[in-house]
Structure 1
């Protein structure tokens, strides 16, 4: 198929590469052109000067950028991808954005005869690089049936969860669960250190039982080493949790743990950790332990 991919960050770069490896004709656009040229050098394909130029003639246009404003910038307006998309083509937004934006794009795409799916992903940079992402999709049945085999080039699970906006709402569930799990892991490691245990040994044991989680298996070693220059940034997690809390407020739903962890991430930002991995909640715990005079730093 002829596919356009817009946004070549840590996720989009390998995702677009998997599409190329699967034999698709891929044209990319990135706001930093040098990044697009680096992708072309590694994977082949074509580089466009604007989102509209990338989308011209494409059967499917995929987008993976930062937030709602970024999505609007690359998809809407005269130079936006949607302006150049043909009737019957399909727009897939992998950005973690608001459910309201997903519904807005569904209407805008439908007005020009283009199908739309909101399809945020989970699995992080490693999942993107290893074609092992989970994709939560909102939209209609027919566009999903067309998109699923294409999206499977970089995913191990692609699931339609309801009408437009459902993918973004499901991603919010994902972030709620991750926030609680990471804070629990940070507290467990802090308790282990304060108790004088061999924390690595403790995790190796409890990860074989009911406490096991992806975060525990994939992050405990770097947490203990104080290494956070990798993974999903705290700044992006706070963006996501902000949308979660806004949606919850609209539904008159209290999320006390999520609210608390969001506040903890604000403290990590104050430590200078805005670009640290979300597992840096443990850095906050260690900082508090050090201030108390009896913790490990």
Structure 2
């Protein structure tokens, strides 16, 4: 066997296990979701009726799905903006500034990321408790006559309460990632900027962010997809989609339709829409954030 063919064979052998796992656990299940979305069936029933695109036609006019989709968009946009902004800001402060107890703050910020999502849901459910919760008690210090706010029971406040938990959970993880990128930026660039009289904000926006942009771009796409998944877990453990569906997300709505209402085919149709939405959103983010790589 020639040296070239032996290299090719070695490459195939190395890639083959990963390819098999990808086909079994990603490609096949995804294709099944598309296939089952064309049927009317229960989650645990072998009987299924082919209905074509009827599930998708119903989906378009389903106002509960529309509300769940709007809630998901709200969470993705708000959580992404706040988390990415604060992560970059905190990373810059802990990387460039001399602060007493820097390592302590790094550990504290990262702790939420190692906690189970169920534990985080329990912590924030206690914080949002209308009578004994920390948040209402702090607000009572400024206005003792204030009526308790139902953070998880109010139609307009529940989504923002969940957003708060999502932001708290994610900041530390992305902060550490950005700190690793910032550590590779030469100090000479900041020294030159200081000599030119550039403020800290200008240094952040003109030096730090452009030089770690590739990392920001990669984590942004990853974060958007993970927010869709984590919002489902928090909603399931904190509100169950309530009150009256006000905090429902597309994943929690899909889960409810497929496994609670025994509308498995309809749930798979929702899954197809989520897949397409995630794919299109990732492509848009990748296109919008594309820029020339800066070298130093």
The TM-score, its normalising length taken from structure 1, stands at 0.29
Considering fraction of residues, name the structure with more helix. Answer: 2
Larger radius of gyration: 2
**Structure with larger RCO (C-alpha < 8 A, sep 6+):** 2
